[in-house]
Amino acid sequence: MRERFGKVAVLLGGTSAERAISLETGTAVCEALRRQGVDAHPVDTAEPFLDRLVREGFTRAFVALHGRMGEDGVIQGALETLGMPYTGSGVLGSALAMDKVRTKWIWQSRGIPTPDFIELEHESDLNDVEGRLGFPVMVKPVREGSSCGASKVKQGADLHAAWEKALALDARVMAERWVEGTEYTASILDGHALPLIRLETPREFYDYEAKYHADTTRYICPCGLDPDTEQRYAGLALAAFRALGASGWGRVDFLVDRAGNPWFIEANTIPGMTSHSLVPMAARQAGIGFDELVLRILETSLEREERR
């Protein structure tokens, strides 16, 4: 049965700020596929790789890249040009989800609650932040993931430094109204939301350190919500994911304020698959082990192949 996949390239590494996490994700994915008899091989996209995919007879790709030049539609477009099936979202869904500003425009147009924001196109825009959003705010690159370059800003005196920190990673920077509340994430697999996870960290927010290194981060699943509320939030997360044209698998992050209102922050079309990653945790709560999860993600490439 595994022969139907043929020779699988696990695309990993790349050149984004999330390269190290992608290497972890891709290695874990490749090992899981091999344990199940799939002919899987790691392919680092930081090196010339398109010719290699053709030359070595790969039949499909498991995209395990994070950040730009991997999660933003660029690699997906290249694979479309080759006619090679791949996992996860297509070009449009990948590109939109990677761009936090356009994500929020679409969500606003569809009535999906998301915090107010300003794109900081010029240094002078910093003067508008307090009047339009108040403090605190979250300042972050528009097209980065894993909270790279993100800062919580509590007062105007710290705004410029946060802007420069984000600007070092992306020419586009945004400030977003801070939502005081509880953070949740909804993992999505083949059109269904997995059990929600509640995130708790003693740090200022769920930053890069909390996501990948800190032992103090708590992941609560079952999340503690009553079933009706969890189902409502999960339904909104699915709607948010689909509104972007995303498909296959992914994750949607949101906060719930003290009044119980959800606020959607961002969508991830290629979430991490490391020891600290959230999708495997949610899948495990649903009775899906890591190896089965990886295989089910690979099966999304078959659906893309059939649609062709």
Kindly report, residue by residue over 153-197, the tens digit of the pLDDT.
999 889 999 999 999 988 999 999 999 999 999 999 999 999 999
Determine the pLDDT at residue 308. Answer: 61
CATH 3.40.50.20 placement within the chain? 2-87
Note the CATH number of domain 96-113+180-285.
3.30.470.20
Task: Tell me the fold of 117-177.
Answer: Dna Ligase; domain 1 (3.30.1490)
Note the CATH number of domain 2-87.
3.40.50.20
Nearest in space to 102 (alpha carbons), one of 15, 178, 174: 174
Residue 146 a catalytic site member: yes
**305: confidence class by pLDDT, cuts 50, 70, 90:** low
Determine the pLDDT at residue 244. Answer: 98
Token digits for 112?
């999906």
Q: 255 forms bridges with which residues in the sheet?
A: 183, 263
206, 272, 277, 301: the catalytic one is: 272
13, 14, 16, 18: the catalytic one is: 18
- Work out the number of other CB atoms within 10 angstroms of the CB of residue 6: 13
CATH 3.30.1490.20 placement within the chain? 117-177
94, 253, 301, 304: the catalytic one is: 253
Q: 44 forms bridges with which residues in the sheet?
A: 12
Q: How far is Cα 44 from Cα 52, in angstroms, rounded to an integer?
A: 11
pLDDT tens-digit map of 33-58: 999 999 999 999 999 999 999 999 99
CATH 3.30.470.20 placement within the chain? 96-113+180-285
**68: confidence class by pLDDT, cuts 50, 70, 90:** confident
Residue 55 a catalytic site member: no
Determine the pLDDT at residue 161. Answer: 93
